[in-house]
Amino acid sequence: MAHLLFTLLVQALIPVLAQTNPIHVKSCRSYCGNITVDYPFALKPGCGHPGFQDLLFCINDFLMFHISSGSYRVLDIDYAYQSLTLHDPHMSNCDAIVLGNRGNGFVVESSRAAFLNPSPDNAFMLIGCSPGSPLFQGFPGKHLPCRNVSSMGCEEYYGCPAWNVIGPKRVGSVYGTGPPECCSVPFDAIRAINLTKLECQGYSSAYNLAPVRSGGPDEWAYGIRVKYTLFGSEAFCTACEATGGLCGYEIDGVKELCMCGSWNSTSNCDSVHSSSNRQISYLVDTRAGFLISLILWMYYQR
Ligand SMILES: *[C@@H]1O[C@H](CO)[C@@H](O)[C@H](O)[C@H]1NC(C)=O
Ligand SMILES: *[C@@H]1O[C@H](CO)[C@@H](O)[C@H](O)[C@H]1NC(C)=O
Ligand SMILES: *[C@@H]1O[C@H](CO)[C@@H](O)[C@H](O)[C@H]1NC(C)=O
Ligand SMILES: *[C@@H]1O[C@H](CO)[C@@H](O)[C@H](O)[C@H]1NC(C)=O
């Protein structure tokens, strides 16, 4: 009799336990190639932070980052330092100069500008810009925005093998007859690396991770280092995850939500609310509590 009762109890408990431990609660995190995509980023609609929706796409195991200036391959996401490292195949580096306005540059939608910005340590080297470029307005006055960024700049970049092929015409700096062939700027100086608008033929981008000065331009890290900002949403997400939820947002893409399995909360999964779904789970909890009491009772009866 006791054995039969125990079997019945186990059969009754299995669905209850399955329901109180929803399997889909781990489903917002994903992987693309060897890159982990986690909060605030996500590859599924409704997951992550609303400021980063429709930003990342996984295509043939390549994680792609899409903004108004184009698509970039994501090489790394550093969650501790809140940054992404991007690669643009049409970007110049130390081995090759790509001209013909083929590069993306970096222009972010105004709605995303608060969340995403190239790091202040990132140097953009603009190459082959026309004398009429907005960069050189006021030239030959002393107001060129060109400057070294994190001890990286064009003077050193000219030392790269890529320049042996075309050879820099250091007109601005050496002869004073025209603007320089290359002008390095931090993103903040111009707020948009739009090669068309700046009338530039190409660009390169390098960043410095080490606090100490890195070696020559052949040792620079080429790519675009982008910082992301959450404005305190980490606290919302931490509280949500601590109570067993998943961080996401409403389909309208504005309000943050904590997804608690059978219901969605605007704070966390422990919060009080009046959803009918939650009442069902209270019933489930009551049932589980009753069954556990019954098992304990049986145990002490023996
Ligand atoms: C870049 O500038 C050009 C010319 O001003 C403009 O037509 C284009 O939309 C801009 N590109 C981006 C991505 O903003
Ligand atoms: C992914 O793998 C590539 C080479 O297979 C490696 O260069 C890169 O550092 C890896 N990225 C991460 C985030 O582990
Ligand atoms: C940038 O640094 C190089 C070498 O360190 C120096 O020769 C050059 O004058 C600097 N350029 C600017 C614009 O400060
Ligand atoms: C909770 O929100 C997510 C994302 O907006 C949605 O896909 C899901 O259906 C919602 N769940 C409930 C129970 O309303």
Tell me if residue 254 falls in helix, strand or coil.
Answer: coil
pTM: 0.79
Residue 109 near ligand 1, beta carbon < 6 Å: no
Residue 46 near ligand 4, beta carbon < 6 Å: yes
> What residues form DSSP beta bridges with 72?
65
Backbone angles phi, psi at 10, to 5 degrees: -60, -45
Please report the pLDDT score of residue 174 as a whole number. Answer: 42
Residue 216 near ligand 3, beta carbon < 6 Å: no
Nearest Cα residue to 154 out of 176, 127, 132: 127
Residue nearest to atom 1 of ligand 3 (CA): 148
Residue nearest to atom 4 of ligand 2 (CA): 34
For the ranges 46-55, 81-90, 125-134, 166-175, which has the lowest average pLDDT? 166-175
Q: Domain map of the chain by residue range?
A: 2-26+233-301, 89-228
Residue 231 gets the label, from left (phi > 0), alpha (psi -120 to 50) or beta, of: left
d(CA 147, CA 157): 12
Indicate the pLDDT class of residue 251, thresholds 50, 70 and 90.
confident
pLDDT at 130 over 60: yes
C-alpha 64 to ligand 1 mean position (Å): 21
pLDDT at 27 over 70: yes
Q: What is the atom index within ligand 2 of the atom nearest the CA of 77?
A: 13
C-alpha 186 to ligand 1 mean position (Å): 19
Tell me if residue 72 falls in helix, strand or coil.
Answer: strand
Indicate the pLDDT class of residue 293, thresholds 50, 70 and 90.
low
Indicate the pLDDT class of residue 300, thresholds 50, 70 and 90.
low
pLDDT at 2 over 50: yes
**Would you say 146 and 183 are in contact if contact means Cβ atoms under 8 Å apart?**
yes
**Would you say 171 and 177 are in contact if contact means Cβ atoms under 8 Å apart?**
yes
Mean pLDDT of 146-157: 93
Q: How far is CA 108 from CA 69, 118, 230, in A?
A: 7, 10, 16
More confident residue, 213 or 72: 72
Task: Dump pLDDT digits (tens) for 45-81.
Answer: 899 999 999 999 999 999 999 999 999 999 999 999 9
> What residues form DSSP beta bridges with 32?
35
C-alpha 250 to ligand 4 mean position (Å): 7
Q: What is the atom index within ligand 3 of the atom nearest the CA of 155?
A: 3
Backbone angles phi, psi at 74, to 5 degrees: -85, 120
pLDDT at 294 over 70: no
Q: Is the peptide bond before 45 cis (omega within 30 degrees of 0)?
A: no
Ligand showing the shortest atom-to-Cα distance for residue 35: 2
Residue 194 near ligand 1, beta carbon < 6 Å: yes
C-alpha 96 to ligand 3 mean position (Å): 22
Amino acid at 107: V
The DSSP symbol for 43 reads S
Q: What is the atom index within ligand 4 of the atom nearest the CA of 248?
A: 4
